[in-house]
Amino acid sequence: MSPTAALIKAALNSNFGWSAVRHRLLVQKRDRWMVPLIALAVVSVVPTLVLYVRLLSAGFDMLQSLGQEKAMLTLAVLSGQLIILIFGLFYLIATFYFSRDLEYLLALPLKPSQIMLSKFSVVLVNEYLTIAPIILPLLIVYGVKRRAGLGYWLVMPLSYLLLPVIPLTVAGIAVVGMMRLVNVGRKKDLLIILGSLVLIAAAFFLQFGLSRAAGTSGPDPQKIISLIASPDGLVQSIGRRFPPAIWATRFLHNGLFTGTGLAGFALFAGVSTLLFGVLMAGGQRLFFGGLVGLSERSGGGRRSKAGRIFRFSSGPHPIKAIFLRELRLMNRTPIFLLNGVLGVIMVPFLFALMPSSGRPGDDRTDIMRLMTAAKPATAVLVITLFMVICATLSGVASSSFSREGRKFWISKVIPVDYRRQVLAKFLHSMAIAMLGLGSATAVVLFRLHAEAGKWLPGLALALPVTAFLTSLNLAVDLARPLLDWISPQKAMKQNLNVLIAMLLDLGFLFLYGLAFIKLGKSGLGLTPVLGTMGALGLALAGAGYALLTRFALRRYPAIEA
């Protein structure tokens, strides 16, 4: 096996833990309970998938009636590539520059491009998995509804395999360049965070630009007629600021054995190859510069002045000490900060930044007004759910124990009651959730212009539900903490616990919403409904925290770090 192939194989194995999983399941005979749980999680996704496929099917019928069904392919390619561009940035920064195995790889007789290629492969496979539930149904529905021939079914997998290459290589070139630029001086972490924010902002502005190009900024009857009149009208409109989507549409729709199809494929594959070549060539020159600079810190550098007077804490405050530890570790690890803290602040604001004018008369603002006027209870429920989602879906609580990684031994040996340790973690997770709540409240207030009579009860209901879900998410991670990770990204966004917790949270919120609606329909007035739901939230928050601490007493001693 060539060194490059061996490296790629080892990187994929190490990232996805196939050998480790096989060993745990077949040799150690541990974690077998996970198999039915994962099967259950997969089965539970089926109803949502069926709903999605029905929606796509209806969408296809509608587009077909206008003679614009090709636009579905353009949308599939475009949305898949935008998802990859934004999420790929996080993955690439973490995998290229913050994997623990890099210091060993640097010492091996390997070219920078070989190391980068192995890391790129890991991200690429991750992206295939990430976009699969969104893009594959779209491509399959299109093929089935159009009764596509063998040609389509042969080209479709190829297009799926090529789909992430352009956005990932573009993101990769940006990341490698950014890391080389910021890897100077003493404030590297700060520069990495700022650089990442600039890249993410650029990706979002690109998305908004493309959304506008797709004509989402406002209906214009004249424009719509001219779009529909041309068979490629909608395709051209959606894809004109991102031509690869048009190329992919052509070779998927027309097949490879037509002039336009072949030209589309040649362009799509050619640009993918070209960008990949640029990334590898750029990596060969810049990758080690960005990477070695990071590890140079372990060489010492300039030390603090001698005779410096250190501040010592005034006395023993174990909970405060653990809370501060959590805060510092999260805020000082760029990947944790970007995924966790900045995530909860950014998500609501991204909602706010979505392309619409925000003026009265704008569609989204009007929908909120109409909803608020007709059914105030519904408005409160929507605001509550929005706030809770913004506060809890960051993965901060559901990766709280995993983030400790190989340092978990410290939590096991310190003489601090496990209840107090969990309290400190709960307070830290809640502090981050509060940032999300604050950010969501600002959006509800200033973007949706909700009245105090709606957002205040929404916030009051969201607080205890957030506390309950924080306990639940902590318990999920405590049940099976992922302590042996090589990249901080694995401790957060690629942590199965985060996904499990997210599914549980969404399931709970669905039930909470149902309960709210049932109560509303039972004839009770708004105030008793809010009171009941508030009391339910408080009871759940109290019970959830009590159960979490009981679970911690049982679970902590069993975790062998």
Partner 1 sequence: MIEILHVSKSYNKGAVRAVDDLTLTVPPGEIFGFLGPNGAGKTTTIKMIVGILKPDGGTIRIGGLDNRLEALRTKAMTAYVPDEPEIYERLKGIEYLNFIGDVYGVSASDRRSRVARWLDAFELSRAAGDPIQTYSHGMRQKIILTAALMVKPRVLVLDEPMVGLDPRSSHLLKEALRAHCDEGGTLFFSTHIMEVAERLCDRIGIIHKGRLAAFGTMAELQAQAKDKASLENIFLELTEK
Residue 486 corresponds to which tokens in the numbers above? 């090589």
Question: Considering beta carbons, is residue 1 or 558 the nearer one to partner 1?
Answer: 558
Q: Which of 82, 79, 84 is nearest to 139 (CA)?
A: 79
Stretch that binds partner 1, among 118-126, 210-218, 309-317, 473-481 (CB under 8 A): 309-317
Q: At residue 120, what is the residue type?
A: F
Sign of the four-CA dihedral 467, 469, 473, 479: positive
CB of 33 to partner 1, least distance (A): 14
Closest by Cα among 392, 401, 377 to 340: 392
Q: What angle do CA 439, 211, 126 make, to 5 degrees?
A: 75
Cα separation, 196 vs 192, in Å, equals 6
Minimum separation from the CB atom of position 106 to partner 1 (A): 16
By the rule CB under 8 A, 316 interacts with partner 1: yes
Spatial CA neighbour of 178 closest among 302, 293, 340: 293
CB of 21 to partner 1, least distance (A): 15
Among 196, 249, 333, 441, binds partner 1 (CB under 8 A): 333
Q: Which of 9, 54, 223, 320 binds partner 1 (CB under 8 A)?
A: 320
Task: Tell me: does residue 29 bind partner 1 (CB under 8 A).
Answer: yes
Q: Does 317 sit near partner 1 (CB under 8 A)? A: yes
> Are 44 and 502 contacting, i.e. CB atoms less than 8 angstroms apart?
no
Instruction: Tokens for 153, please give them.
Output: 């079914």
CA gyration radius, the chain: 26
- In the list 147, 314, 359, 360, the residue contacting partner 1 (rule: CB under 8 A) is 314
Determine if 107 is a binding residue for partner 1 (CB under 8 A): no
For partner 1, the binding residue among 10, 12, 329, 434 (CB under 8 A) is: 329
Cα separation of 166 and 234, whole Å? 22
Q: Which ranges of 66-186 would DSSP assign to H, the alpha helix?
A: 70-97, 102-107, 112-145, 150-162, 165-182
Strands annotated E in 340-464: none
* Closest CB 30 distance from partner 1, rounded Å: 8
- Taking the complex as a whole, the smallest distance from the CB of residue 13 to partner 1 amounts, in Å, to 20
Regarding 230 and contact with partner 1 (CB under 8 A), the answer is no
Q: Does 332 bind partner 1 (CB under 8 A)?
A: yes
Minimum CB distance to partner 1, residue 59 (Å) = 47
Angle between helix 3-16 and helix 112-145 axes, rounded to 10 deg:
70
Query: For partner 1, which is the closer residue by CB, 250 or 490?
Result: 490
Check binding of 324 to partner 1 (CB under 8 A): yes
User: Residue 406 interacts with partner 1 (CB under 8 A)?
Assistant: yes
Find the binder of partner 1 among 43, 313, 373, 527 (CB under 8 A): 313
Per CB under 8 A, 33 contacts partner 1 = no
Give the DSSP per-residue string, 209-278: HHHHHTTTT---HHHHHHHHHSTTHHHHHHHTTSHHHHHHHHHHHH-TTSHHHHHHHHHHHHHHHHHHHH
Are 416 and 322 in contact, with CB atoms under 8 Å apart?
A: yes
Nearest approach in angstroms of CB 434 to partner 1 is: 22
Identify which range of 56-64, 154-162, 302-310, 354-362 contacts partner 1 by CB under 8 A: 302-310
CA dist 86 and 188 (Å) reads: 22
Q: Give the closest residue to 137 by CA, choosing from 64, 51, 13.
A: 51
Q: Which stretch binds partner 1 (CB under 8 A): 159-167, 324-332, 432-440, 456-464?
A: 324-332
Is 258 or 331 the residue whose CB approaches partner 1 more closely? 331
The C-alpha atoms of residue 88 and residue 94 are separated, in whole angstroms, by 10
Q: Taking CB under 8 A as the rule, does residue 298 contact partner 1?
A: yes
CB of 497 within 8 A of CB of 398? yes
The CB-of-392 to partner 1 minimum distance in angstroms stands at 24
Residue from 322, 472, 502, 548 that binds partner 1 (CB under 8 A)? 322
CA dist 195 and 187 (Å) reads 12
Which stretch in 69-77, 242-250, 339-347, 405-413 sits in contact with partner 1 by CB under 8 A? Answer: 405-413
User: What is the amino acid identity at position 304?
Assistant: S
Interface residue with partner 1 among 110, 136, 321, 431 (CB under 8 A) is 321
Q: How far apart are CA 533 and CA 541, in angstroms?
A: 12
Binding mask 529-558 for partner 1 (x = CB under 8 A): ----------------------------xx
Contact between 300 and partner 1 (CB under 8 A)? yes
| 27 lies in the binding site for partner 1 (CB under 8 A) | yes
Q: 424, 319 in Cβ contact below 8 A?
A: yes
The residue among 41 and 329 lying less far from partner 1, judged by its C-beta, is 329
Residues in contact with partner 1, shown as a per-residue x/- string from 407 to 436 under the rule CB under 8 A: x-xx-xxxxxx-------------------
Residue type, 128: Y
Distance in Å, CB of 27 to partner 1, minimum: 6
Alpha-carbon distances, residue 405 vs 395, 409, 495 (angstroms) = 15, 9, 12
Structure tokens at 4: 């490059």
Q: Which is nearer to partner 1, 296 or 363 (CB)?
A: 296
| Nearest to partner 1 of 28, 230 (CB atom) | 28
Question: Which burial class, exposed, middle or buried, applies to 44 when counting CB atoms under 10 A from its CB (0-12, 13-18, 19+)?
Answer: exposed
Q: Which positions touch partner 1 (CB under 8 A)?
A: 27-30, 297-298, 300-301, 303-308, 310-318, 320-322, 324-325, 328-329, 332-333, 406-407, 409-410, 412-417, 557-558, 560-561
